[in-house]
Structure formats: C-alpha cells, structure tokens
Amino acid sequence: AVILSGFDPIRREVARLSLDKLIKDGRIHPGRIEELVEKTRKELHEEIMEIGEQTILDLNIHGVHTEIVRLLGRLRYRTSYGQNVLQHSKEVAFVASLLASELGIDPVLAKRAGLLHDIGKAADHEIDGPHAEIGAEFARRYGENDIIVNAIAAHHEDVEAESLIAHVISAADAISGARPGARRETLENYIRRLEKLEKIADAFDGVEKSYAIQAGREIRILVSHKKIDDAQAAQLAGDISRKIEDDMEYPGQIKVVVIRETRAVDYAR
C-alpha cells in the first residue's frame, strides 16, 4: 500500500493520479515522472472546471464568475470531518432554497448563497484566515451581491448576519452537517458521548436501564413499573430531556423515550 499525505488536496490528487499512471505504464524515471505529472495537472485543471460548470448547471444557477466556478470544482477534492465539501454545499443549497420558500423569501438567492457558502475552503490552505472570511472576500471580488457576501461571512457567526438569507444559510449548513452519517467523529469522542447520555438517564430515580441508540440521537429508558406510573413516566421524559439540554452539546436533537412495562407471568402445570 502507498499512503499519500499533504495539506493541498489538489496536489495530493495530482500525485495519486500520476502514481497510478506510472505504475500502469511501467516506465518510471525522472523524465517520465515530470512529463506525467505535468500532463495530469493540466487534465485535473480541466476536470475541475467541468465539475464546477456541471454543478451550477445541475442547480440551475446562472451568471457565476469563472473563478468561482473553478473554486466550486476544487471543493470536489476537499473534505471536512469526512464529508465531501462540494456535496455538502449542494445539500446546503437545496435545503436553503426549501427553507426560503417556506419563509417567503427568494429561494433562488438562498440556493446561490448556500452553494457558495464554503468556497473559502477551496483556498484556506493557501490564504490565512477563517474559511468564511476567505469565501466572502472571493464572492465580493468576483461580483456576488452584498446579501450573498454577508451570508458567506456570517454562516459560522464570525460576523453579524444582516439578512434573513444569512440565517437560512446557517440553519441549512447545520442541517447538512448534523445529518446522521454525514460526518465522522473519533471513536473515543463518540463512545464518551453515548456513555454520558446513558449516565444522565441512569441517575434518575426509578430508571432501571438506559440505551443510547441511533448514533446517540435517541435514548430509550426502561423504568420500574413499581416506582414510576404512567403520569410519572411522561414527567420523567421531560426531566431527562431538560437535563440533557443543560449538560450536553450536540447537533440536532435527541429523542428521549421512556418505556414502562408490566409483565404478568404464570405457569400451566
């Protein structure tokens, strides 16, 4: 196995493709390496532009500057917590347009802002600063309007949101990132979060056992039918929910299910 590592995702992809071609070709010497690397770099640049153009075509977005198209194409090779940034940007664009439609604001503008909100990540390894700030500067430089520029800059609350569109983009970004399976977290953090969730529930009187399921997005709590009646079960669900809200940080929401079961057992002899 060959492991390629590097902070620049485009250079990493050039190296991967070049290495693959060299192995298949069999002629591995300095001259051939330089030739293939240069050829691969040109082909990848063309592919990046094709990806960017196809993306804006798929989302029916018009009047995008060529440099913005290139940045969108570069996002195909960038990940964030294991989530592909271009796919994430397309999801945010789709969700933002739906939210905007429900709120009675311009869905086309929201979709455009959603698609462009992370373009700073295409160059954050080259330019110092937060990706939201870098992306906003690119958008301003290449002719995007002030609402979109502010939506990009404000989607992580680094600056104040100046429009409803900016709040919609922040919400859509959170929805896409919090989708189950969208992003990976370290196994240690994942286990710690599930253990804390169960520990909070187990601390309440009358709880016999609790189980965190659905990647920690739901907890099922078994209670003693002798200590907890039906009315108390409903109250317990509310109490545990509030305790989780106070003690934990998590994306989205956690469903709390309290289960009270009575069993009657006899034997026929």
Domain match, 21 and 134 both: yes
Domain match, 130 and 38 both: yes
Domain match, 206 and 126 both: no
User: What range does the domain containing 246 cover?
Assistant: 187-260
- Taking residues 48-74, what's their average pLDDT? 96
pLDDT higher than 90, residue 44: yes
* CA 160/CA 166 separation, integer angstroms: 9
Query: Could you give the number of structural domains in the chain?
Result: 2
Domain match, 60 and 80 both: yes
Assign 180 a pLDDT band (cuts: 50, 70, 90).
low
pLDDT at 52: 96
Domain match, 121 and 215 both: no
- Taking residues 221-245, what's their average pLDDT? 93
pLDDT higher than 90, residue 2: no
Residues 6+ apart with CB under 8 A from 260: 223, 225, 228, 229, 230, 233
Pick the closest to residue 23 from 14, 31, 33 (CA basis): 33
Domain match, 44 and 126 both: yes
- Taking residues 73-91, what's their average pLDDT? 90
Domain match, 84 and 192 both: no
Is 115 among the domain residues? yes
Domain match, 114 and 243 both: no
**Identity at 239, one-letter amino acid code:** D
**For 73-87, 160-174, 183-197, which range has the lowest pLDDT when averaged over its residues?**
183-197
Query: Looking at residue 255, what DSSP letter applies?
Result: E
- Taking residues 112-134, what's their average pLDDT? 90
C-beta contacts of 65-73 below 8 A and 24+ residues apart:
65/142, 65/143, 67/138, 67/142, 68/116, 68/119, 68/138, 68/139, 68/142, 68/144, 71/119, 71/122, 71/123, 71/138, 72/115, 72/116, 72/119, 72/122, 73/47, 73/48, 73/49
Is 265 among the domain residues? no
- Out of 155, 178, 201, pick the residue that ends a domain: 178
Domain match, 161 and 222 both: no
Is 220 among the domain residues? yes
Domain match, 164 and 205 both: no
CB atoms within 10 A of CB 185: 13
- Out of 123, 152, 178, pick the residue that ends a domain: 178
156 φ, ψ to 5°?
Answer: -115, 15
CATH number at residue 197: 3.30.300.30
Domain match, 15 and 122 both: yes
- Out of 178, 212, 229, pick the residue that ends a domain: 178
Domain match, 81 and 115 both: yes
Is 3 among the domain residues? no
